[in-house]
Structure 1
Amino acid sequence: MRTVDLSGDNRGPLTVHLRPVTGADEWLVSSAEPAVVLVLLGRLVVNTDLAALTVSQVDRLLAAVYDMLYGDRAECQVRCKACREGYEFTLSLSTIIAAQDAAWIGPPAADGTWTLSDGRRLRAPKLGDLEAAKQQPEALFARLVVAGDPTTRPELVTEFLDRAAPLLSFDLSAPCPHCGSEEIVYFDLSRYLSQRLAGERVLMLREIHLIASRYGWSHSEIMQLSRDDRRGYAGLIGAERASGLGQRAG
């Protein structure tokens, strides 16, 4: 069980518990669509309603899920627009989160809002706000600015929320090591996580096959194993087979 402290983004103490990821959870992520990992996250949180959290808090939970599965670092692949060469760079999620926390402007008032320098009051977006904005993008600020004119200086609202309720989706500079061209890359943790999980389905099938062949367990029984246990069993079976082949070859 992983415990995630979200107090920094909330008006009071808030901790969320995440249960271990099982094969049944992983199997849900069949495509690289960010919405799929929200379904996964909804299964993993214990006694927590994602709809009640801000998008910033949801992103922090996704970062915790990513760390449970892969660790802190995200390996990103880019193709330079100038020279067309491919290259890789690494992000540390904990470093990014620490930088966001250092720039945080503080908690909202008791009603969940902050007050801008021009007197307007606004709140952080929730998942429902983003869903509604898909249909009416121009209505997002109207939902978030609860007092004052939402159409005035929208960039001020955006800049404020970037510090008050930061997201793990952003543009970053990733210079090309081949030609030195300055590349601006968009990173979205929810999409990146869904891509990684969706890309492991063939490996997961192999692990299921190894365990079923060795122990005779059913597909549903294997899918209820935690990811760590499934990979542990598959690794032991693979090592046994490799050892047996080595002995026969000798």
Structure 2
Amino acid sequence: MAISAATLLDIWEAGAAQPPLARVLALLAPLFPEIAVAELPVGARDGLLLLVREWLFGAQMECVAVCPACATRLEFSLATTALRALAPATVVQSLDVGGQQLAFRLPASADLLGLPPGPAATRRLIERCLIDAPAMLSDEALAAVATAMANADPLLDLRIELACPDCSHSWAAPFDVAGFVWQELERWARRLLRDVHTLARAYGWRESEILALSPQRRALYLQMVNDERSAG
């Protein structure tokens, strides 16, 4: 899917001042108008985010983590295609807890938006996603449902297994798909606006004219501007 630079800048600008979850929906909604993105399971939503990332920047994501034991900086790569394969195909799940059959649906963005702040948020989320559940459930039953949710939707709380090459410490590092993709979009937008500024000053073009250029042609004009500055 081709997304124009102007459209993407508009999406970025609209989401920049919003909270993280709202900005994710602001990014996806105009690109998938036929889908109720807020109602998708978190993993399915993040699968769409990863697809958008492929359209914009390719399938290979270069990531950085810091070893919690010795503070060594680790660089590693993730493939969007591999992560997208983790997105759940079934929304409604069930499990047996002490002979009691419990059905639940996987959490969606709309569920997260409706949560009150505080330590009770996780319990409220699980209760919100239970289907025809008894009025009272034990902490053990709720914990079992939480585990089943995480197993059914690995992207709900994605962890990447890492090992430090310096101290050999191993850990499961949390990876925030939505935060990572938005951070990349943020860097792209700011870099593009700097390029627009440079070309507007050099040629007197309007922003719309510069954004209408292909990335290749824009890069060639920038190179010529930079060459002239270096020669001067």
TM above 0.5: yes
Given the two structures, how large is their TM-score scaled by the length of structure 1? 0.73
1:64, 1:235 → 2: CA distance? 25
Question: In the TM superposition, what is the alpha-carbon distance from 1:180 to its structure 2 partner?
Answer: 1.2
Paired position in structure 2 for 1:235:
219
Identity, % of aligned positions: 24
1:233, 1:29 → 2: CA distance? 28
Contact 1:37 1:193 in 2 (8 A): no
2:39, 2:210 → 1: CA distance? 30
Q: What secondary structure is seen at the aligned counterpart in 1 of 2:158?
A: strand
Contact 1:33 1:191 in 2 (8 A): no
Contact 2:11 2:26 in 1 (8 A): no
Amino acid paired to 1:60: G
Question: In the TM superposition, what is the alpha-carbon distance from 1:24 to its structure 2 partner?
Answer: 2.1
Paired position in structure 1 for 2:129:
144
Amino acid paired to 1:196: E
2:221, 2:53 → 1: CA distance? 26
- Does 2:32 correspond to 1:45? yes
1:223, 1:244 → 2: CA distance? 19
Amino acid paired to 2:102: R
2:203, 2:150 → 1: CA distance? 51
- Name which of 110, 115, 129 aligns with 2:94: 115
Q: How does 1:37-186 map to 2 (within 5 A)?
A: 37-98=24-85, 100=86, 107=90, 113-117=92-96, 118-135=100-117, 136-137=120-121, 138-149=123-134, 150-151=137-138, 152-167=140-155, 169-186=157-174
1:95, 1:215 → 2: CA distance? 44
Taking a change above 3 Å as real, the CA distance of residues 209 and 125 of structure 1, as seen in their structure-2 partners, is: same
Contact 1:22 1:223 in 2 (8 A): no
1:29, 1:232 → 2: CA distance? 27
Amino acid paired to 2:113: E
Question: In the TM superposition, what is the alpha-carbon distance from 1:170 to its structure 2 partner?
Answer: 1.3
Q: What secondary structure is seen at the aligned counterpart in 2 of 1:174?
A: strand
Q: What is the aligned length?
A: 220
Question: In the TM superposition, what is the alpha-carbon distance from 1:49 to its structure 2 partner?
Answer: 2.6
Taking a change above 3 Å as real, the CA distance of residues 182 and 68 of structure 1, as seen in their structure-2 partners, is: same
Q: What secondary structure is seen at the aligned counterpart in 1 of 2:127?
A: helix
Contact 1:22 1:224 in 2 (8 A): no
- Name which of 155, 178, 193 aligns with 1:205: 193
Contact 1:170 1:188 in 2 (8 A): yes
Given the two structures, how large is their TM-score scaled by the length of structure 2? 0.77
**Deviation larger for 230-239 or 19-28:** 19-28
Taking a change above 3 Å as real, the CA distance of residues 64 and 245 of structure 1, as seen in their structure-2 partners, is: same
**Deviation larger for 192-201 or 28-37:** 28-37
Paired position in structure 2 for 1:9:
none
1:230, 1:30 → 2: CA distance? 25
Contact 1:123 1:146 in 2 (8 A): yes
Paired position in structure 2 for 1:193:
181
1:78, 1:114 → 2: CA distance? 33
Contact 2:39 2:110 in 1 (8 A): no
